[in-house]
């Protein structure tokens, strides 16, 4: 035990050092920025307390008199943007919308720290990277940068014996026991072979005690050095920040393993320390509450800040508050691209069927892509028309060449042609993608699938739906889709009748194998797919839930398993929040009326509706019934700082940060963008990962792995 204390202390100590070093990087950066903007290199940090530097320059009185019209902070800040950021705020899109902060600063911070860590192991080294860290890493530091810092060869971690001749091995990994064990085996194998190497493990975003325990148990604790790369947030786009932790969902909600809670808290703290504090925090869900607690604790440890906040409000929401939304088929362009082609870390690989050539093309999908940024939030049915209009415009732009004199032509080639060509390229890609989607999605099957989904959401013709699902399973159409429909059925119906449950489950197992017994066990634990207990009607269930929620022991944070009391109550919720618009009304998808457009007008995402309601009411008052059905665990806290400032109508006050714990879908992001447009505010989505129905369910499969 003594050892572990010391280790704990060491860790603390180390943390201190690393934070100081880190701040020295920040110091450098800020110094540079200040020089650019104020014109004088004046040290504004206390030499003995360098960690304050990042916090203080913005409110330093000495700066203020220099710039009379704008506050010093905004001036410095704009320098940050002009120097570091190339991303423009998307002002132009919506007139009334507030500008978004520049998140590329986060990338730069992460990169600087990584470089620093790599240099801690001087000399040539081979770098092993966790497979799922490859893409995020690429967005932070590409191969050239790594090579500049003496990374010799790059390998993917494959949990197999390695073939590296380097004397220094560096591992950049997620803190997973399995990977650490693999490294331990490696070290031990080297020891047996009498080979001497230096090993360094860089855990990101943090290391866990369990990993160190493994190193200790395997007897290699002294042979490796460990470090942390505090890479918490990857900005995927102007308004999407991702923690890139897909395992968050399973670990937290299924396994009851809360180790990522502090990570999420740290991510919020990072945002706060870079972009300013929040005036109000709302949240719902057990995990949300814990993340908030962890964040608050971290804030108490650190200094208080007084600068103008960049975001007004934060909304934390657990994925298990709303399982319906991610289980629905996505029909908004971006979501559809994700469902069909799988967007990975903000980029997608379009195969030959899209590119109409024999090779695949990797495309970044974000607001930089002018074509994509205009269609990403559109219902798929509009996309084609839009694209053809766009193609016509492009043609017109090209056609301008005719009748130009030489001078004009020169200007055209210099200024416009490149842009047009670029647009042309993107346009043809997206047209290709849409065609490919059309082929897949306008088929009879897909229409029927959507029809079934909509019936389930409305609670209409359930028998037909069950028959449809049964056929779906029997025909082995798609393992994940069948499961998805089953879950949707269970949630919307508050569990399946025993008879149906058994027969469907048996059918499913016959189709896809008995190992899915475990999948079903997982789904039941999460409350995604359940068997109704005999005699439990909806009302009985509701009163039971009510009782449980009142029971304090259930409300206690310590109990990780909420599923016992988790009946979805979807139907009642849907009624109360008017999630499903009345059927029979025409819904013009070209001119969306509400957020339901992201599901063809059939359903307003529950998560987004909650956010809308809470922001409108500035809290949970009046929604007691709803929160009761959602299992309580809601909270609303007014931030400690700047309550008077909060009332001033700055841009910042209209930026809302929404954090999805356990992943969010592109449909939800689109819905929030729509909501923002309606309300004249902007949403920034922070998510543990981008998810969709397949990812969600795949995370719950229990394969032999």
Partner 1 sequence: FVAYRGQTELLGPLRKIELYEMGWNLKDGLRECLVAAAPYGGPIALLKGHYRRSPSARPQLEIYSSSGLPLASFPWKSGVVKQLGWTVSDDLLCVQEDGTVLVYDLWGGFKRHFSMGNEVSQSQVLETKIFHSPYGTGVAILTGALRFTLATNIDDIKLRRLPEVPGLQEAPSCWAVLTQDRQSKVLVANGSQLFILDNTACTPVTPPGLSPQASSIVHMCVSFSYKYLALLTDSGHVWMGTSNLKEKLSEVDTKIKTPPKQMAWCRRPKSQQPSAVVMWDGLLIVVGECKETIQYHLDDDSVLVPELDGVRIISGTHHELLQEVPGACEEIFKIASMAPGALLLEAHKEYEKESQKADEYLREIKEQSLLSEAVRQCVEAAGHEHEPETQKTLLRAASFGKCFLSNFPPEQFVSMCRDLRVLNAVRDYTVGIPLTHTQFKQMTVQVLIDRLVYRKLYPLAIEVCRYLKTPEYQGVSRVLKHWACYKVQQKEESDEVIAKAVSVKLADAAGISYSEIATKAYESGRTELAIKLLEFEPRSGEQVPLLLKMKKSPLALSKAIESGDTDLVYTVVMYLKNELNRGDFFMMLRNQPVALSLYKQFCKHQEQDTLKDLFNQDDDHEELGNFYVKASYKDQRLEARVALLQSAVDEYYKAKNDFSAKTTEDEMRLLRFQRKLEEEKGEQLVGFSLHDTMTTLLSVGLHKHAEQLYKDFRVPDKRFWWLKLKALAEKEDWEELEKFGKTKKSPVGYLPFVEVCIKHHNKYEAKKYVSKVTPEQKVKAHLAVGDMEGAAEAAIERRNESEISTVLSRCSATTDHLLMERLNRAKATAVKK
**Which positions lie near partner 1, rule CB under 8 A?**
1, 4-5, 8, 177-178, 181, 208-210, 213-214, 217, 251, 255-259, 261-262, 290, 293-294, 297, 300-301, 470-471, 474-476, 502, 505-507, 509-515, 517-518, 521, 557-561, 702, 704
DSSP letter assigned to residue 581: P
Cβ of residue 109: shortest distance to partner 1, in angstroms? 24
**Is 6 or 356 the residue whose CB approaches partner 1 more closely?**
6
**Is 177 or 540 the residue whose CB approaches partner 1 more closely?**
177
- If you write DSSP's letter for every residue of 188-213 in order, what string do you get? HHHHHTT---EEEEEESS---HHHHH
- Total residues found in the chain within this entry: 705
**313-318 and 280-284 as β-strands: parallel, antiparallel, unpaired?**
parallel
Distance CA 371, CA 424 (A): 9
Cβ of residue 618: shortest distance to partner 1, in angstroms? 27
12 C-beta neighbours (distance < 10 Å), count = 10
**Is 11 or 344 the residue whose CB approaches partner 1 more closely?**
11
Cβ of residue 440: shortest distance to partner 1, in angstroms? 15
**Exposure b/e, 203-225, CB count within 10 A at least 16 = b:** bbbbbbeebbebbeebebbebbe
Among residues 350, 358, 365, the alpha carbon closest in space to that of 436 is found at: 350
H/E element holding 267?
Answer: helix 259-275
Largest CA distance in the chain: 85
- Sheet with 234-237, edge to edge strand ranges: 234-237, 240-242, 682-687, 655-661, 313-318, 280-284, 634-638
Q: Are 114 and 139 in contact (CB under 8 A)?
A: no
Cβ of residue 526: shortest distance to partner 1, in angstroms? 14
Cβ of residue 513: shortest distance to partner 1, in angstroms? 4
Using the structure block, give the residue that is written with the tokens 């970044």.
Answer: 364
Q: Are 242 and 690 in contact (CB under 8 A)?
A: yes
Cβ of residue 479: shortest distance to partner 1, in angstroms? 10
CA contacts within 13 A on the Cβ side of 444: 0
Cβ of residue 532: shortest distance to partner 1, in angstroms? 15
- Cβ-count burial of 122 within 10 angstroms (0-12 exposed, 13-18 middle, 19+ buried)? exposed
**Is 416 or 445 the residue whose CB approaches partner 1 more closely?**
445
**Is 256 or 680 the residue whose CB approaches partner 1 more closely?**
256
Among residues 687, 16, 630, the alpha carbon closest in space to that of 291 is found at: 687
Beta bridge partners of 634: 284
Distance CA 647, CA 229 (A): 38
Cβ of residue 136: shortest distance to partner 1, in angstroms? 23
**Is 84 or 214 the residue whose CB approaches partner 1 more closely?**
214
343 C-beta neighbours (distance < 10 Å), count = 21
**Is 111 or 174 the residue whose CB approaches partner 1 more closely?**
174
The phi, psi pair for 206, rounded to 5°, reads -160, 165
Cβ of residue 291: shortest distance to partner 1, in angstroms? 9
**Is 250 or 682 the residue whose CB approaches partner 1 more closely?**
250
**Is 251 or 310 the residue whose CB approaches partner 1 more closely?**
251
CA dist list (Å): 53 to 16, 261, 619: 15, 28, 35
Distance CA 265, CA 240 (A): 17
Cβ of residue 10: shortest distance to partner 1, in angstroms? 13
**Is 296 or 344 the residue whose CB approaches partner 1 more closely?**
296
> H helices within 527-622, ranges in order?
538-550, 552-555, 570-577, 606-617
**Is 14 or 181 the residue whose CB approaches partner 1 more closely?**
181
**Is 301 or 358 the residue whose CB approaches partner 1 more closely?**
301
Cβ of residue 516: shortest distance to partner 1, in angstroms? 9
Q: Are 587 and 601 in contact (CB under 8 A)?
A: yes
Cβ of residue 204: shortest distance to partner 1, in angstroms? 16
**Is 373 or 511 the residue whose CB approaches partner 1 more closely?**
511
**Is 178 or 395 the residue whose CB approaches partner 1 more closely?**
178
Cβ of residue 110: shortest distance to partner 1, in angstroms? 22
**Is 251 or 423 the residue whose CB approaches partner 1 more closely?**
251
Q: Are 504 and 487 in contact (CB under 8 A)?
A: no
Cβ of residue 623: shortest distance to partner 1, in angstroms? 26
- If you write DSSP's letter for every residue of 4-27 in order, what string do you get? HHHHHHHHHHHHHHHHHHHHHHHH
Among residues 585, 580, 577, 621, the alpha carbon closest in space to that of 599 is found at: 580
CA dist list (Å): 354 to 75, 339, 377, 381, 429: 46, 15, 20, 18, 7
Cβ of residue 300: shortest distance to partner 1, in angstroms? 7
């Amino acid at each position: 035990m003594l050892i572990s204390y010391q280790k704990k202390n060491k860790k603390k100590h180390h943390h201190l050092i690393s934070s100081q070093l880190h701040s020295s990087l920040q110091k450098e950066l800020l110094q540079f920025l200040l020089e650019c903007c104020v014109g004088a290199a004046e040290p504004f940090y206390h030499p003995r307390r360098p960690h304050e530097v990042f916090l203080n320059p913005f409110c330093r009185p000495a700066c203020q008199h220099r710039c009379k019209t704008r506050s010093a902070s905004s001036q410095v800040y704009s320098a940050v943007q002009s120097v570091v950021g190339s991303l423009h705020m998307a002002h132009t899109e919506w007139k009334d919308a507030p500008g978004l902060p520049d998140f590329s600063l986060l990338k730069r911070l992460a990169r600087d720290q990584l470089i620093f860590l790599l240099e801690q192991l001087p000399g040539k080294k081979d770098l092993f990277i966790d497979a799922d860290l490859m893409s995020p890493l690429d967005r932070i530091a590409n191969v050239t940068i790594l090579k500049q810092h003496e990374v010799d060869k790059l390998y993917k971690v494959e949990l197999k014996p390695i073939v590296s001749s380097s004397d220094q091995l560096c591992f950049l990994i997620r803190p997973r026991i399995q990977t650490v064990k693999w490294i331990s085996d490696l070290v031990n194998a080297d020891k047996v072979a009498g080979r001497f190497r230096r090993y360094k493990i860089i855990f990101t975003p943090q290391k866990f005690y369990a990993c160190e325990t493994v190193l200790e148990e395997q007897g290699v604790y002294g042979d490796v050095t460990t470090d942390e790369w505090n890479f918490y947030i990857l900005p995927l786009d102007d308004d999407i920040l991702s923690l890139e932790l897909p395992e968050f969902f399973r670990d937290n909600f299924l396994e009851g393993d809360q180790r990522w809670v502090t990570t999420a808290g740290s991510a919020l703290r990072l945002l706060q320390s870079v972009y300013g504090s929040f005036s109000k925090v709302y949240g719902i869900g057990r995990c949300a509450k814990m993340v908030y607690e962890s964040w608050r604790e971290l804030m108490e440890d650190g200094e208080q800040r007084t600068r103008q906040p960049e975001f007004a409000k934060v909304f934390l929401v657990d994925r298990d508050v709303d399982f319906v939304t991610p289980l629905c088929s996505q029909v908004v362009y971006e979501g559809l691209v994700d469902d069909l082609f799988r967007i990975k870390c903000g980029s997608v690989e379009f195969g030959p069927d899209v590119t109409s050539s024999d090779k695949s093309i990797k495309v970044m999908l974000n607001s930089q892509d002018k074509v994509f940024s205009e269609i990403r939030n559109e219902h798929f049915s509009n996309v084609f028309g839009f694209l053809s209009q766009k193609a016509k415009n492009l043609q017109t732009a090209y056609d301008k060449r005719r009748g130009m004199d030489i001078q004009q032509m020169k200007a055209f080639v210099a200024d416009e042609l490149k842009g047009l060509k670029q647009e042309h390229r993107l346009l043809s890609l997206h047209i290709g993608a849409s065609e490919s989607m059309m082929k897949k999605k306008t088929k009879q099957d897909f229409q029927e699938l959507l029809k079934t989904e909509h019936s389930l959401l409305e609670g209409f013709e359930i028998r037909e739906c069950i028959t449809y699902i049964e056929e779906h399973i029997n025909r082995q159409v798609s393992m994940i889709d069948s499961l998805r429909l089953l879950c949707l059925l269970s949630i919307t119906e508050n569990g399946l009748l025993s008879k149906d449950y058994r027969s469907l489950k048996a059918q499913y197992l016959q189709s896809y194998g008995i190992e899915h017994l475990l999948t079903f066990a997982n789904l039941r634990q999460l409350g995604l797919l359940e068997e109704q207990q005999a005699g439990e009607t909806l009302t009985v269930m509701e009163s039971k839930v009510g009782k449980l929620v009142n029971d304090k022991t259930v409300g206690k944070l310590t109990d990780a398993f909420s599923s016992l009391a988790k009946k979805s109550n979807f139907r009642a919720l849907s009624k109360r929040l008017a999630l499903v618009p009345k059927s029979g009304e025409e819904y013009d998808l070209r001119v969306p009326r509400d957020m339901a457009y992201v599901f063809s007008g059939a359903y307003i995402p529950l998560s987004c509706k909650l956010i809308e309601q809470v922001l409108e009411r500035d809290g949970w008052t009046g929604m007691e019934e709803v929160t009761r059905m959602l299992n309580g665990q809601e909270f609303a806290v007014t931030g400690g700082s700047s309550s008077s400032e909060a009332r001033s109508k700055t841009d910042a006050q209209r930026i809302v940060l929404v954090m999805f714990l356990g992943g969010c879908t592109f449909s939800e992001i689109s819905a929030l963008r729509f909501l923002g447009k309606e309300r004249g505010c902007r949403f920034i989505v922070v998510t543990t990962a981008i998810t969709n129905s397949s990812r969600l369910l795949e995370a719950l499969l229990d394969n032999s792995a």
